[in-house]
Structure formats: C-alpha cells, structure tokens
Amino acid sequence: MGERFYKLSHATLGPLIRGAWSIEASGREHIPGEGAAILASNHLSFLDHFVKPAVIDRPVSFISKVEHFEAPLKAWLFEQWGVIPIERGKGDDEALDRAVQVLEDGKLFCIYPEGTRSLDGRLHKGHTGVARLALGVGVPVVPVGVEGTYEAMPKGQKLPRFPDVEVAFGEPLTFEDRHGQQDDYDTCREVTDEIMEAIQALSGQEYVHEYQRNPDYVPAEHRDDEEATA
C-alpha cells in the first residue's frame, strides 16, 4: 500500500466525503490504534469503500472484484489504496493470502462477509471466509454497521444521492478459544453467524438467513431506463 498516498487521499478526500453525506461515525474507539484487526461490515453500496476510510484514521485494505481494476487509472488508485482484487465466485486463494499478509503485517483489513452488495437492503447470510481469516491469524474482529449508502447509491444506479450516512463500529469480537480451528467448517459457520449477528445489531437491517443472489442481477427499479426496457 502506498501509505503516503493513502494519507494524502484521506486528508484531502476525507472531508469532502464526510461533508457530502453528513457522515456520523460512532464507536471509533473500538478500532485499535495499532496492530491487526478485521473490520467486518455489511455491504450496501459501492460507496462503502469510501465512507469507512473517510472516518478511520489508519489505512485500511479491502477486497474488491477484479473488474474494478480493468481501467488503468482506477487500477492504479486502488493499488495505492491497498485494495486487493478478487475474482468473485472462484475462491481466489491469492487474494485471501494477501489479506493474511496484511493482517500479519499488523494492519487493518475490511471484509464484507455477504460477499457482494445487498440488492434489497437486507443483511444476508455471511460466507465463512471472515472466520477462516480471524481464526487462522488470531486477530480481533470489529463489527461495522453502515446505514444510508443503499439509499445513496444502490447497485445499478450511476449517480449518487446524498442522504445522511451512519457508520457504527462495535466492540471487538475475539475468538481465542477457537484459534487455529479455521479448517473446521462447523466452527467457522458458528463464528461467522456470531459476527453477522453483531453487524445486524449495529446496522438495524432485517436479517435473511440465505446468501445474496446472483450479484449480476440488478433490481428493475434501480436499472437505467434503457436497461429496464431491454
């Protein structure tokens, strides 16, 4: 990660982002001032990649779908910001290995356990990758609940709206009693469900105990006019 570039971006873009959506952040004291931690968040919008770093003083790395790296300028920016490309649906081990490296280097890593943006605004069942990371590396998980970004820019909408946005950070979850059990599916499922419960308590979303549907599907009400009539 280009940390100097990241800090410059945070100093210049952060105030603009916070002002545009009147972002209210709570619980920031739960983010460790140093050392590794996983930020596990709900995922409502592409804007989620920007509103959390705007209220976090430390650099934070994300995973994002590889398609976001196709444009050279965008790819360069994402690389500088520490975004890790992943080929969604193919279990990209290289991306997860890079996430492990971020954590082993004592940094912050943000993951969306749902695996993709919510298409209906509800919180969906989490995939177990977050648990495998937490149990494998032995780091705390800070649950994060975001509200308002779905209304600002749901999937399929090209231009954002500007409602107020809230970002809530919860108390860190630790799983020392299950450290090293990252290869046990039942344990990972249990830990993931605990994390999702904590996220739901912060976001206030309705929880759906099923995985998010095909990420390429866009609800009709959020498509461009010409897409909706195609």
The DSSP-derived string for 142-210 is EEEEEESHHHH--TT-SS------EEEE-PPB--GGGTT-TT-HHHHHHHHHHHHHHHHHHH-PPEESS
What's at 122, amino acid-wise?
R
Mean pLDDT throughout 100-127?
A: 94
pLDDT in tens, 45-67: 989 989 999 999 899 998 877 77
Domain positions in the chain are: 3-211
pLDDT at 131: 96
Domain 3-211 is classified in which CATH homologous superfamily?
A: Glycerol-3-phosphate (1)-acyltransferase (3.40.1130.10)
Residue 228 has pLDDT above 60, yes or no: no
Rounded Cα gap, residues 47 and 41, in angstroms: 13
pLDDT at 181: 97
Task: Find how far residue 193's CA is from the centre of its chain.
Answer: 16
For residue 5, give the DSSP letter: H
Going by C-alpha positions, the residue among 64, 32, 23 that lies closest to residue 148 is 23
Rounded Cα gap, residues 175 and 98, in angstroms: 22
pLDDT in tens, 187-213: 999 999 999 999 999 999 999 999 987
pLDDT at 124: 97
Mean pLDDT throughout 73-96?
A: 74
State residue 225 phi and psi, 5-degree precision. -55, -45
3-state DSSP assignment of residue 55: helix
pLDDT, averaged across the chain:
87
**Per-residue confidence at 216, pLDDT binned at 50, 70, 90?**
low
Between 73-77, 96-100, 144-148, the lowest mean confidence (pLDDT) is in 73-77
pLDDT at 220: 44
Residue 42 has pLDDT above 90, yes or no: yes
C-beta of residue 59 within 8 angstroms of C-beta of residue 23: no
Rounded Cα gap, residues 140 and 156, in angstroms: 34
